[in-house]
Structure 1
Amino acid sequence: MQHIIDRFISYVIIDTESDANSETTPSTKKQWDLAHKLVADLKNIGMQDVSIDDKSYIMATLPSNVQHEVPTIGFISHFDTSPDFCGANIKPQIVPNYDGKDILLNADKNIVLSPSYFKDLLLYKGQTLITTDGTTLLGADDKAGLTEIVTAMEFLINNPEIKHGKIRVGFTPDEEIGRGAHHFDVDKFGADWAYTMDGSQVGELEYENFNAAGAKIIFKGKSVHPGYAKGKMINSMLIANDFINELPQGETPQETKGYEGFFHVHHLTGSIEETVLELIIRDHNKKKFEKRKELIEKITKKINKKFAKQFGEDIVTAEIKDQYYNMKEKVLPVKHIVDIAEQAMKEIGIKPLIKPIRGGTDGSQLSYKGLPCPNIFAGGHNFHGKYEYVPAESMQKAVEVIVKIAELTATEGTARK
């Protein structure tokens, strides 16, 4: 297991934070640093057809070692980290034989990772945890996935008695800013189906995710000296506040779970003359998703009608863009690919946790590009922040799942195209 820990740490100490404001791919030059290392690692373990394109998408092949026809499967993860929290100068801390008590991440800043708040920690008593030092995220999302895929391929290469078909691996940039699959060449990848190793807790197996859209809403105003503003001033910030108050109460990320959708206000900047509101819209149900977008338009029209005479033109404009859709629609027709992953977990003693993703993955967009792609756990918790951690044993289990999926897919009568 030390081999896994060492490989994981070698990946997370490389800063690969992506940038949504960049128009390049990858969105940051520093992502190339890890991309080139991954290419070298894949070649060093003996993978074939290792390639990296001009946008840093990496692909490689493990050839089949059976004579009968076997579907080509793939395993995919991303190497960027979220811009939501600092991803530079990561200093991983190893906590062996975790005792179930508070973990002091940073003594100077009194930052503590506590099971009283993060109850999932208690699932890992006696295990080896890898944490942050309290000043950065860890990057287990999704460098744990990278570690697991490379390690599983290395294991299969070193143990040729384990039978498997052709396996393709793919590593992508910019997943954290929603672009991970934008330039992924599905035809070049050439797999019948694939799995993203990008989930959290051991056992997670997901083939449903949100339908997602983003909205940018601009409010105009009129600035007048406050002492003489009666009937003249229009404060765009207050109009934005009215707009937010028109959204359904209780339908926010912090108040929903499971299949419940939400509106999430994530950015608000303004002055009297102009305020910009950015929010995201999420729902697993396609009809409810469309209703949510319609509500944004309805509120916009209502406010415009209210101020039409005073302002003389539309005072609010709303731009709504779809981001990704629920992969369930594309995976259900080939549900056996989920069944194989479920069987693999059961055969190595893991209880499958089949549930919807309250978010999205590369697998969602890839499924709509013709590559059905459920999501499997990578083992980390508390992504995108200083409390992120991953048990080494969880990464080991993920490696075993990959190997078992490969083995089951090569078993005649188990896999279907």
Structure 2
Amino acid sequence: MLIRFEVANFRSLLDPVELSMVAVDRDRAEARPVPNLGESLLPVAAVFGPNASGKSNVIAALTWLRTAIRDSLRFWDDEIPVEPFAFAGGEARPSEFTIESVVSGVRFEYIVELDRRAVRYEGLFHYPEKKRRRIFEREGGEFKLQRGLGNLSGTRELLTPRALALSIARRFDEPLVSGFARDLLAAQTLGLKSRGRRPVNSAPARSTLRWFEELSDRDQFALPGFEELDRPSPADRTQALALLRLADMGIDDVVIDEPEVSYPEGSPESARMRTQRTVRLVHRAAHERVPLDFAQESEGTRTWFQLIGPVLAALRSGSLLLFDELDASLHPTLSMQLIRLFHDPATNPKGAQLIFTSHDTSLLNHLNRDEVWLTEKAEDGATRLGALAEFAGERVRKSQNLEKAYLHGRFGALPDVDRAEILRALGLIG
């Protein structure tokens, strides 16, 4: 589980900001005790704030780090694609990322500082018996390893100024490193828009269709990316259908057709037949069951259908799900149901975590004070991120109506609308 994430000099996040999943109110069923940490961790965190205040950049920074660990060895030959703050000398400063998480009961800490030219510092640490120990550390061209981890020595041979040591070390058979990296790489990102470089949205490890498929053993192994443990089961289908019915109680089943389609290649004789997968949702009305093409479904139903795979994958593996602009994709009722899935230990026994951004203040009624984070833009354009639970150095009361207080400006983080300026620009006042 994620403990905390800190970032500096990335997009609008100039000075260090921290998102912590450590529970303030530990006496709630939603807070998950971590014995070796001595704290409880939260399964949900929400970031609220005005448009252009930098909410999405918190999600983007976490996603960027995950993608960097996956791709740096393969794609960072010429330049590190980091995005420093555009003002206040940000281009001349390194970007910094720190992430702490608990994997298999052990606390890990990963730190990296870099600019477009090179990785300046990188370190991976763990806390066996609560004492910090180095796994590896690199500064400039110097690379140090913990004693007894000689099987990672090949990392030194492959290291370049722009490749992350973690990208290299995770490929060696060392459980300490590969376990931490695997946990971070399992994170999924939804809703985040690309800025023109490599896409930042992560494709889910298992698509939603995988949860509805009924395959023979032979067909199962013909599909790339599936292993024996990933075989669809009746229980998978039951879970997926139960989630789908939350969006539309009239849905009775899902039908996946695989008709053969002819693709011309020069002449009719050379046309090739290919299988094209199509989805239809079966609706129940009175005594009828009618399958409708997926394109005929409402946008909300289609969006929810596409979420089922990532959500079930996160809940099954206990991984992290990042969702930018949750309210732009889902009806408030479905957003609330999604939060409830991660809150409830019965549906989330492995401690999966959901971090999302939103404008929908009604969701504050379903969140605890320590699950809410607020963004504001400073005069220099930099984003400030703060915990609502400790707003302005004053602890927010546990019983406070968060939505009402937020809308009344109690916590800031609201759009500052100058109505007179708008009316003047429209020529309605002098």
Output the TM-score relative to the length of structure 1.
0.20
Choose between structure 1 and 2: higher strand proportion: 2
- Using CA pairs below 8 Å that are at least 6 residues apart, which structure has the higher relative contact order? 1
